[in-house]
Structure 1
Amino acid sequence: MKKIILAGDAGATNTELALFSIENDGLKVLFSEKYKSAEHVSLYEIINKFISDKKVNPSAACIGVPGPVFGGKIISTNIPWEIDETELGNKLGIPNMKIVNDLEAAAAAIPNMNPGSLEIIYAGNGKTNYGNKMVIAPGTGLGMAILIHNKDGYSVIPTEGGHSDYAPVTDIEIELLKFLKMKFGRVSPERVISGLGILNIYEFLLTKKEFGNSENYFEKSEFKDIAAKISEEALNSGNDICIKVMDIFISSLAALCSSKVLGVNASGGVYLCGGIPRKILKLLSDGKFTEAYLNKGRLKYYIEPVPVYVVRESSAGLKGAALIAGRFIKSGIE
């Protein structure tokens, strides 16, 4: 009898679940479904509904959730759920339950990802590099993980780098830091390089004299997702303030990417996941990202060979979670 595993990618907006069967040639998707996270009081409620509707009892499960995981427990930074993997597995009747950081799940999928799922933003030296890889995901928040290269392939190290300290480079980014410091006290990269960050940059620019006559989207109730509206305007119109918002977002993201290359010796490349990079591919490819990415002074030569990709595969986190859950079966824990 074929083993069935459950994989999930829980986010602040959506939670996606899927059932996979383990085949000789890999994992096969049987069913998948998305749920609005805010419409449910717990992860248990969503999973229980899913597996009850499908009438299955998975042998193993792995769910990626935003936030740090300690001892199988997590209090998510972007979802109001407290999760304990042992308690969750017992309630659901799933013998092997694993909760991981969402970027750990996404990173697990990258080493075996089809090249067609990757968009090259900066080609580097054009060679396939097998060194360490950095995974950065600007979405509602900012997730990061490291893929450490070793003799067995890659090991995933989840991090909370999105909550480190924001490091401005340009004069206007220094002004932005001062503005955000007044508002928040402490400023992390997530305050700038995320969907929430786009709103913070926009709010800051509205205080600048040169943008004094700009339309204030915060006063427009018809715009449900103001960050998406700003990026769309930057892509499709000559809206000066929106273009400037995304210029700051992209230069900050690029500087972060090359700083992480230096910090973890990520010679194997930088991989941008999350919803925002996929939506702004055109902006990431116009040369401004590359200019800011390579702006590392005396260490520019260290950055130049290292490629940057956008992961076009929207279900990378789900597939990575499935790979992690599949290890329970392969290791004979069942």
Structure 2
Amino acid sequence: MDLSTAGVLLAGDIGATKTTLGLFAPSGAVPGPPLRQQTYRNAEAACFDELLRSFLDSNGLQPVSACFGVAGPVIENTVHMTNLNWVVDGPGLQTRFGWQRVVLVNDLVATAMGVPHLASTDVRVINQGKRRKGSAVAVLAPGSGLGEAFLVFPEGRVFACASEGGHASFGPRNDEQMELLSFLQQHHAHVSVEMVCSGMAVPELFTFLAERMQVPLWLQQELAEAADKTPVIVQAALAARRGEAVCDIAVHTLRLLTDILADEAANLALKTLALGGVYIGGGFAARVEPFLEPQRFMRIFCRGRYQAMLGDIPVALITNPQTALVGAAACAIQAASDDPAHPGRLPDKDTFSASA
């Protein structure tokens, strides 16, 4: 097949810190493996166009259409990114690159669209549960920020709904978290869930706990030299968990964060009635995977009047870092079908990995 003339689709996952781009051959309703793929650090480019031109020049293939999952709300096919000073303009990209179509979706919409294409090896099951066929599926992803979205299935089709739920207000669930909220309100007019449940949250959670717990001298020194404190705290917590160091405050920082994540996952499940499952994605979630302990997570997740119903919901951690890219490719295929009455199709095998 001559890929230069075969209607190649371009897909992208544009996050706050890195961007992954991939070229896909059109293959019905389900994206195949990428023909070409490359990941870039956003700090190395002044704007998205710069990364895009570098990728296309290095591959020599000209796509006919594109879909990008972007970290931020999509308004009139344009995104002013939430945690990065970039503007991604769909109509402008279409004109500048001469493509037939450019579709922008929220990055969590792209992740959600990738969920039906996950294999059992692409997830780690937190709760086996019992998936209700045709019910909504919720997706949340703590990365640099906190993204949320959900899938619905009208008439057997799949449709991803965007959300900015990560910017909703943080609701504490115990005395410690109420003290955390009070602490953060001294410095912020509004305390969102993202501010306590993402990579960006780690330093402030640590600072809050440092008023109550001892910070080892070696960790004080490492933090003083670090431009980005989050990876230092995360590595200290992981080393302590492996028994390679003693660092109660770093461990407590990640436990506090993942406890809040479990509570927010339940909130999203209730608000979307996600009886089809809850999926946790995001690069930060993968980094702190050892702290996502099934029993502890589900003890927090299952609460309130619908405790039994929540206990039946499948919950899984997405371990495949390409899920959003595959989902963006699925959105590109969907857009290329030119059939707005049918937003997408499920894979032939109607199973979801959290309950497989």
Spell out, residue by residue over 1:177-201, the C-alpha distance to the aligned partner (whole angstroms, 9 max, x if none). 1111111121000001000111110
Distance in structure 2 (CA, Å) of the matches to 1:218 and 1:150? 52
SS at match of 1:29: coil
**C-alpha deviation, 1:305, in angstroms:** 0.4
Partner of 1:227: 230
Alpha-carbon distance change, 150 to 332 in structure 1, aligned in 2, over 3 angstroms: closer
Distance in structure 1 (CA, Å) of the matches to 2:82 and 2:126? 29
Kept after mapping to 2: 8 A contact 1:69/1:99: yes
Alpha-carbon distance change, 259 to 328 in structure 1, aligned in 2, over 3 angstroms: closer
Kept after mapping to 1: 8 A contact 2:195/2:201: yes
Spell out, residue by residue over 1:13-62, the C-alpha distance to the aligned partner (whole angstroms, 9 max, x if none). 11111111124674241111111111212111111221122222211101
Partner of 1:66: 71
Partner of 2:290: 282
Kept after mapping to 2: 8 A contact 1:145/1:156: yes
Kept after mapping to 2: 8 A contact 1:48/1:92: no
Aligned residue type for 1:329: A
Give the alignment of 1:154-303 within 5 angstroms: 154-208=158-212, 210-211=213-214, 215-216=219-220, 219-221=223-225, 223=226, 225-237=228-240, 238-285=246-293, 287-294=295-302, 296-303=303-310
Partner of 1:82: 87
Kept after mapping to 2: 8 A contact 1:217/1:226: no
Spell out, residue by residue over 1:180-228, the C-alpha distance to the aligned partner (whole angstroms, 9 max, x if none). 11111210000010001111100111122x336664367431x454222
- TM-score, with normalisation over the residues of structure 1? 0.93
SS at match of 2:305: helix
**C-alpha deviation, 1:298, in angstroms:** 2.6
RMSD: 2.0
- Taking only the aligned residue pairs, the percentage that are identical comes to 29
Q: Which runs of 5+ in 2 are unaligned?
A: 241-245, 341-356
Kept after mapping to 2: 8 A contact 1:66/1:101: yes
**C-alpha deviation, 1:158, in angstroms:** 0.7
Distance in structure 2 (CA, Å) of the matches to 1:218 and 1:263? 41
Distance in structure 2 (CA, Å) of the matches to 1:102 and 1:275? 13
Partner of 1:119: 124
Partner of 1:313: 320
Spell out, residue by residue over 1:44-94, the C-alpha distance to the aligned partner (whole angstroms, 9 max, x if none). 111122112222221110111101011111110112111220011110111
Spell out, residue by residue over 1:76-124, the C-alpha distance to the aligned partner (whole angstroms, 9 max, x if none). 0112111220011110111211111111111111122212211101222
Q: Which moved more, 1:157-166 or 1:30-39?
A: 30-39
Answer 1 or 2: which has greater strand percent: 1
Alpha-carbon distance change, 18 to 173 in structure 1, aligned in 2, over 3 angstroms: same
Distance in structure 1 (CA, Å) of the matches to 2:202 and 2:222? 13
Distance in structure 1 (CA, Å) of the matches to 2:190 and 2:27? 49
Partner of 1:324: 331
Distance in structure 2 (CA, Å) of the matches to 1:173 and 1:77? 25
SS at match of 2:102: strand
Spell out, residue by residue over 1:218-256, the C-alpha distance to the aligned partner (whole angstroms, 9 max, x if none). 7431x4542223223223313100111011101100011
Distance in structure 2 (CA, Å) of the matches to 1:207 and 1:4? 55
Aligned residue type for 1:316: T
Aligned residue type for 1:255: D
Counterpart pick for 1:101 among 99, 103, 106: 106
Distance in structure 1 (CA, Å) of the matches to 2:304 and 2:339? 51
SS at match of 1:287: helix
Please state if 1:56 is matched with 2:64.
no
Kept after mapping to 2: 8 A contact 1:20/1:31: yes
Distance in structure 1 (CA, Å) of the matches to 2:335 and 2:306? 42
